[in-house]
Amino acid sequence: MAELKPIKTPEAQFVNEVRLNARQWIVALGVVLLTVVLTPALWKKLERFDTGPDYRIPYALSKDYWLYQRRAQQLAPTNIVLLGDSVIWGEYVLPDGTWSHFLNREAGVTNRYVNAGVNGLFPLALEGLIRSYGQPLRHQKIILHCNLLWLTSPKADLSTDKEEPFNHAALVPQFSPKIPCYRAAASERLNAVVERNVPFLEWVSHLQNAYFGQKSIPKWTLEEEGGEPPQHPNSYRNPFAQITLTVPSEPRDDPQRGPLSSRHKPWSTNDQGTTHFEWVATDRSLQWQAFQRVVALLRARGNNVMVVLGPFNEHLMAEDNRPAYRKIRDEVAAWLVQNQIPHVVPEPLPSALYADASHPLTHGYELLANRLYADALFQKWLPTK
């Protein structure tokens, strides 16, 4: 009798997959879109953002443009906004030593003049900041600072052909007008353009700036600490524990700023002597062209713009270099007159009140605010009480 052999059946394969039909795909897409759209708005209600008299965007959050936009949304119609680079922000001084602080003191108030400066900014980046993140700045009185530091050389103007790194590259025009020294890859440029226009990506960047030291979570996790072999202190930390739902504030005792700081001293104590600048003519300057576009953009949004031109530290310049500076200063002032833009050109401060070519020290800001507030044109520009 023949032996019966068991019949082998093919083993069933385990398939770990979920197939969605068209309706389910639409539901899933809707959930994702709702998350992307609603998360940034909901976050503003959950996250504590303390501001008050003399508030300025902390130095460590200088590239947190989403936070800058949120700050601009807090402004009242009665606020007067000081807009510009680190001269407005106050590179060498504490929050109570800034231009806006002393203007508030001149006015006998605490929070009418608002510090909307950003450290490391320049006109080409300011244009991107206002265009993409400064939409809330409408129908405001704005004091716009014009710092001719950015015309002191082709490198400062970003018009040199040599590749140069610079701050706030994500804010500058990525494709047009062309910036000769900016050599970022096309993917990096496209990423900058997309992030400016997608609030969810702006919010992600805010999380990285505010809670993860300007790093993505994977980079933060793999961050090395000194030593041999290198240590990775964040590798076992819970990244969600970093998110405190409170925007970090500026340190009370900043060792880099204020009268007690070693940096807070007159420029002449550095033994650097006078300087020759390689001034860029206004008709060739990328920074000056960007400043003109910033003025036009602010005015198109219904803002009442007052430009303060300088005061640049003329004491630092070699005597034979000053005529070139004054020619550029007068050309800028003539353009402001031609376009009927209220402006003030303050006299240079005493030499001992400058920290460098353009940044005043604390008493320099105090004197500058006193002079500006006493200016007849400035008083005429101020709102009637």
- What percentage of the chain carries pLDDT values higher than 90? 79
- What percentage of the chain carries pLDDT values higher than 70? 95
Res. 2: pLDDT tops 60: no
pLDDT of residue 385: 56
**What band does 23 get if pLDDT is binned at 50, 70 and 90?**
confident
The tens digit of pLDDT for each residue in 48-73 reads: 999 989 999 999 999 999 999 999 99
**CA–CA separation, 54 and 30 (whole Å):** 43
Three-class DSSP category at 83: strand
Res. 3: pLDDT tops 70: no
pLDDT of residue 177: 94
**What band does 384 get if pLDDT is binned at 50, 70 and 90?**
low
Helix (H) or strand (E) run with residue 143 in it? strand 141-146
Strand order in the sheet with 343-344: 113-115, 80-83, 141-146, 304-309, 343-344
Res. 371: pLDDT tops 70: yes
The tens digit of pLDDT for each residue in 210-233 reads: 999 988 888 998 888 776 777 788
What mean pLDDT comes out for the span 265-270? 92
Q: 91-100, 147-156, 232-241: which has the minimum mean pLDDT? A: 232-241
CB neighbour class for 60 (10 Å; exposed up to 12, middle 13-18, buried from 19): middle
pLDDT of residue 26: 85
**Would you list the domain boundaries of the chain?**
43-173+249-381
Average pLDDT, the chain: 92
User: How many residues are given for the chain?
Assistant: 385
The tens digit of pLDDT for each residue in 311-343 reads: 999 999 999 999 999 999 999 999 999 999 999
What mean pLDDT comes out for the span 359-374? 98
Residue scoring higher pLDDT (142 or 52): 142
Sequence-distant (6+) residues with CB within 8 A of 372 are 103, 308, 344, 346, 378
**What band does 125 get if pLDDT is binned at 50, 70 and 90?**
very high
Q: What is the CATH number of domain 43-173+249-381?
A: 3.40.50.1110
Q: 31-45, 199-213, 282-296: which has the minimum mean pLDDT? A: 31-45
Which ranges constitute the DSSP H helices of the chain? 22-46, 65-73, 86-89, 99-107, 123-133, 154-157, 186-197, 199-211, 217-221, 286-300, 322-338, 362-374, 376-381
Res. 12: pLDDT tops 70: no
Res. 1: pLDDT tops 60: no
**CA–CA separation, 296 and 118 (whole Å):** 20
**What band does 139 get if pLDDT is binned at 50, 70 and 90?**
very high
**What band does 83 get if pLDDT is binned at 50, 70 and 90?**
very high
pLDDT of residue 48: 96
Residue 221 CB neighbour total at 10 angstroms: 16
pLDDT of residue 229: 76
**What band does 9 get if pLDDT is binned at 50, 70 and 90?**
low
The answer to whether 78 and 107 are in contact (CB under 8 A) is no
The answer to whether 64 and 57 are in contact (CB under 8 A) is yes
Q: 150-154, 214-218, 258-262, 268-272: which has the minimum mean pLDDT? A: 268-272
